Amino acid sequence: MPEPIARARAFSYSYPDGGGASLRDVSLELEPGTFTVLAGLSGSGKSTLLRALCGLVPHFHGGEVAGELVVGGLDVRTHGPGELAAVCGTVFQEPETQVVMGGVRAELELPLEHRGEPPAAVGRAVEETAISLGVAHLLERRTDTLSGGELQRVAIAAAMVHGPALLLLDEPTSQLDPVAGDELVWLLRRLNEDWGTAVVLAEHRLERCLPAADRVVALVEGRVACDAPPRDYLAWAAEAAPALATPAAKLFSLAGLPERPASVKEARTGLRAAGVELSASPPPTPPRARRKWWARNGRRPLALDIRGVWFEIEDGPSVLRGLDLQLLPGERVALMGRNGAGKSTLLRLAKGVETPTRGRVARGGEVALLLQNPGDFLIHEHAVEDAGPGGVVAAGLAGREQANPRDLSGGERQRLALEVVLAGGPYAAVLLDEPTRGMDRAHKDRLAGRIEELAEANAAVMVATHDTEFAASFAERIVLLGQGLVIGDGTPADVLAGGRHFSTEVARVTSGAALMPEEGARMLTREEVPG
């Protein structure tokens, strides 16, 4: 057995604010060259464990440590992040604040200069790393001109340029669209296979990274609750922590099938093994024409009426090109499309934060808009000053009125910010821009419940999201944007079942026959599965 790259023995840690232990008796060993996924709900200790592995805990954050944690032969209690940086590279969630320099080449050179490497070695390491990680074309770019996905790749390159044996990543895909997120996970897998780098990846969207993983460590309230290969982990999650199971695993569990597939391919194989014959993926159903739908509902008053709207940027592109969209009161709509398709712009125009360069936006009453970063809405020192006593309760934070919003988790901040924008209701329309970024499944379910309440109160709710599973869970209508126009508009079954990219994991497993695990399981148990 090779010497582990990291070893924890009864390691516990508490932050200095006295809020209780964030890690409790963690014992594990990470072998060189393995790909480990850290799973767990928000606040379970994933980020803290990563920060301990890179030495920020306790040297940067302070606090109390017990037990032992050794990384690359260095004890984190006595060696700080500077020394541990020789052994491990670290990439955080927010791309913007971890890229330090103004140019990409300078960013990659910096860690090597810190180590006093000679110029020739710096030049060679930068070139080789950039080529291997697919950022060679970005070397002469300024960092403030890069997209989120490009920034994350540059951050990974900067973390790997000195050749560490261990790479730690804290939800690196949470700020990215699904395509950039998938590319990043496969880049990590290649890095793991080609370079032999051990990867530890904390992630909420497990369906994205389990196919690449050798092993999953699940944390519950700071303790290691499961440490197993992906399929065994999914078997554990199905029983002990359903919120941590992937949709395909949940489908199999609900249908009573014995397998716990870690990927769509495994799930399809599992279904075939169970005697379920899947037909070839049907061609995408043409979305129902909106005009027809509108003809059926045309006499009802509209919550939002957007007609012929253009949004053209001076010296820039036309983000929206004569877009038409009508929302009825009480409708639950998911607005989807790739990055740059115009989702956020459409929401801003609907609220009136921006003005269309052509076209008309009519509102059936007040419109509430929650922008992407909930922290921007939380101005005061105490939660109650921002949202009021009723808002704090509605956000599920009763008893924490005096909490500083910055001390809340991402999901809690999102809920509180939503109540801040809803304070002046009632609203004809409520618009949410990417509210599930970095959220665990439990928080998403709670948000879906709140959307249901708002719709029952007759508000049209439109949510811009990349998260197909979330969209399928709350929406009755999916609007797909592309090139500044509506390119798909219909029920979730119409739009998400036959899509190649915009589809749920269960839809991909069942060739579009079902979108959600519950629906798929009903179908399987009713018809296909023998016995």
**Alpha carbon distance 375, 451 (integer Å):** 20
Q: How far is the CB of 381 from another protein (least distance, A)?
A: 9
**Alpha carbon distance 101, 161 (integer Å):** 15
Q: How far is the CB of 416 from another protein (least distance, A)?
A: 13
Please say which residue, 146 or 264, places its beta carbon nearer to another protein.
Answer: 146
Please say which residue, 48 or 504, places its beta carbon nearer to another protein.
Answer: 48
**Alpha carbon distance 528, 531 (integer Å):** 9
Output the six-digit token pair for 442.
Answer: 């439990």
Beta bridge mates, 28: 8
Output the six-digit token pair for 45.
Answer: 């200790």
Q: How far is the CB of 50 from another protein (least distance, A)?
A: 10
Please say which residue, 179 or 423, places its beta carbon nearer to another protein.
Answer: 423
Output the six-digit token pair for 347.
Answer: 């929401």
DSSP symbol at 456: H
**Alpha carbon distance 300, 313 (integer Å):** 34
> Which segments of 274-404 does DSSP mark as H helices, in order?
290-297, 343-351, 383-394
Q: How far is the CB of 518 from another protein (least distance, A)?
A: 35
Q: How far is the CB of 270 from another protein (least distance, A)?
A: 40
DSSP string, 84-103: HTTTEEEE-S-HHHH--SSB
What residues make contact with another protein under the rule CB under 8 A? 54-56, 59-60, 80-86, 89-90, 92, 94, 96-103, 105-106, 110-111, 113-119, 122, 140-145, 158-159, 162, 348, 351, 353, 366, 368-371, 373, 375-380, 406, 420-421, 423-424
Distances (CA, A) of 27 to 140, 291, 377, 395: 44, 60, 39, 35
Please say which residue, 113 or 193, places its beta carbon nearer to another protein.
Answer: 113
Please say which residue, 7 or 61, places its beta carbon nearer to another protein.
Answer: 61
Residue 175 · residue 94 · CB < 8 Å:
yes
Strands 198-202 and 166-170: parallel
Q: How far is the CB of 112 from another protein (least distance, A)?
A: 9
Q: How far is the CB of 104 from another protein (least distance, A)?
A: 10
Please say which residue, 362 or 379, places its beta carbon nearer to another protein.
Answer: 379
Q: How far is the CB of 29 from another protein (least distance, A)?
A: 22
| Distant-in-sequence, close-in-space partners of 221: CB < 8 Å, separation ≥ 6 | 24, 44, 45
Left (φ > 0), alpha (ψ -120 to 50) or beta: where does 230 sit?
A: alpha
Please say which residue, 151 or 486, places its beta carbon nearer to another protein.
Answer: 151
> Measuring CA to CA, which residue among 145, 132, 162, 146 is closest to residue 72?
162
Please say which residue, 64 or 113, places its beta carbon nearer to another protein.
Answer: 113
Q: How far is the CB of 379 from another protein (least distance, A)?
A: 4
Q: How far is the CB of 386 from another protein (least distance, A)?
A: 8
Residue 514 φ/ψ, nearest 5 degrees = -145, 155
Q: How far is the CB of 148 from another protein (least distance, A)?
A: 13
**Alpha carbon distance 276, 512 (integer Å):** 14
Q: How far is the CB of 459 from another protein (least distance, A)?
A: 14
Strands in 434-501 per DSSP E = 460-464, 477-482, 485-490
Task: Encode 362-397: b = buried (16+ Cβ within 10 Å), e = exposed.
Answer: ebbbebbbbbeebeebbeeeebbebbeeebbebbbb
CB half-sphere exposure, 216, CA atoms < 13 A: 30
Please say which residue, 170 or 266, places its beta carbon nearer to another protein.
Answer: 170
Please say which residue, 167 or 479, places its beta carbon nearer to another protein.
Answer: 167
> Measuring CA to CA, which residue among 511, 469, 509 is closest to residue 492?
469
Please say which residue, 328 or 371, places its beta carbon nearer to another protein.
Answer: 371
Please say which residue, 23 or 85, places its beta carbon nearer to another protein.
Answer: 85
